[in-house]
Homo-oligomer: A and B are copies of this chain.
Amino acid sequence: MTRVAIIGAGQTPFGVRPDATLKGLFAAAVEAAVGDVQRGLDPQEIEEAHIGSLATGGSQLGNFGPLMAESAGLTGAAAQRVENACASSGFAFRDAVMAVASGRVRFALAGGIEKMSDLPRARNRGWLGVSGDVEWERLAGTNFPGIYAMIARRHMYEHGTTRGQIAGVAVKNRRHAVANPKAQLRKPLGLEDALAAPMLAEPLGFCDACGITDGASAVILCRWDDARALTDKPVEVVGSGAGSDVVALHDRAVYTRLDAVRQAARQAYAGAEVGPADIDVAEVHDCFTIAELLAYADLGFCSEAEAGRLVDGGETHLGGRLPVNVSGGLIAKGHPIGATGTGQISELVHQLRGTVAETERQVPGARYGLAHNVGGSGGSAAVHILKAPA
């Protein structure tokens, strides 16, 4: 099987960017990724562009991939858009991995873009609910805060997880983001303030959720054998997994685990020939605080009952055994939906190379990194494992 490497990775700053256009944001992310290829790459050599976006800024319904590729100057690339809700660019990345692994494509780009602030009713998130099951959830009045609140309640009931442990995820990720100039929320958050924030859907408050974010990200892939000529530090994609599940929560036997993630993780670990204990740094999909606790168990880092203690005990903090969301995660770095998956990959590439610009948030000596990207409330998930340059 053809081995796959990442040779360039970048992203725009995440945040509310009323000044930026969709085209400009995506072009900036591609420019960052191309500029990150150590010995240079002519963007014309990129043969495929797989671009994740959920809502395409709300104006351009179709042919969004080619339009974005054109704006970024990728004139030699066959472009396509992948939509898998919040996992759009996780799946776009997987498609690019497969294309290179097939031996038929030499250079592929995977990226993502979302301009949430341009969307109708973005502020009240009405449109976001249509990434759950519209027929059974959205039309009954449930939205994502409500769905994740039900999951959180069940987690507390089943596993004794505390409200403080859940909010602790936000405190951790907000602290991590302080040192990340690309993050949206760089002001630290105390646990008391997190608990005192206005209620969103009991038990989740305002600080347990990610916000409205604009941004774009991109990474460039090629065959492992070609990578050395272009960079001294190729990062290998050693494991790629993807899964789906029933979209509506009420159709699931258990609320406190996401089977799509477990399926994706099994594939990714098997491909990488490593296990959860080998992972040194992870970017996980904390669209809500509780989602990060689900991830810990779904990815095999611990049991469901132990998840809360991984935050409490400092294990997943920067400096801990397995730092999670050193970037700030979705909650603090930001969650421009389609851009999140390849944004996670981009962060891991720099972590694994040991070239994070802000040395205080560099995880030292990390060998394996894991990216976990979830669509909606677990209807789909992509998990990737990357390996540091030798």
Interface residues in chain A, defined as those with a beta carbon under 8 Å from any beta carbon in chain B: 1-2, 48-49, 54-55, 59-67, 69-70, 74, 77-86, 91, 95, 97-99, 101-105, 127, 130-134, 240-247, 260, 263-264, 271, 375-376, 379-380, 382
Contacts and interface: CB of A to CB of B under 8 A. Distances in A.
B61 A127 contact: yes
A338 to B, nearest CB: 10
A85 B102 contact: no
Given A78-B263, A271-B104, A133 B83 contact: no
A130 B49 CA distance: 21
Contacts of A61: 54-55, 127, 130-131
B247 A66 contact: yes
A287 to B, nearest CB: 13
B240 A104 contact: yes
Contacts of A240: 104
Contact of A63 (B1, B84, B103, B242): B84
Contacts of A59: 130, 134
A147 B369 CA distance: 48
B98 A83 contact: no
Contacts of A49: 244
B271 A79 contact: no
B243 A78 contact: yes
A232 B164 CA distance: 62
A81 B376 CA distance: 14
A384 to B, nearest CB: 13
A181 to B, nearest CB: 30
A84 B83 CA distance: 11
Q: What 4 A-B pairs come out closest when comparing CB atoms?
A: A62-B131, A78-B242, A62-B85, A101-B102
A131 B271 CA distance: 38
Given A66-B244, A102-B101, A104-B1, A79 B134 contact: no
Nearest to A246: B70
Contacts of A242: 48, 78, 80
Contact of A91 (B80, B101, B376): B80
Contacts of A102: 1-2, 97-99, 101-102
Contacts of A382: 78
A43 to B, nearest CB: 13
A331 B22 CA distance: 34
A84 B263 CA distance: 28
A379 B1 CA distance: 33
A27 to B, nearest CB: 14
A321 to B, nearest CB: 30
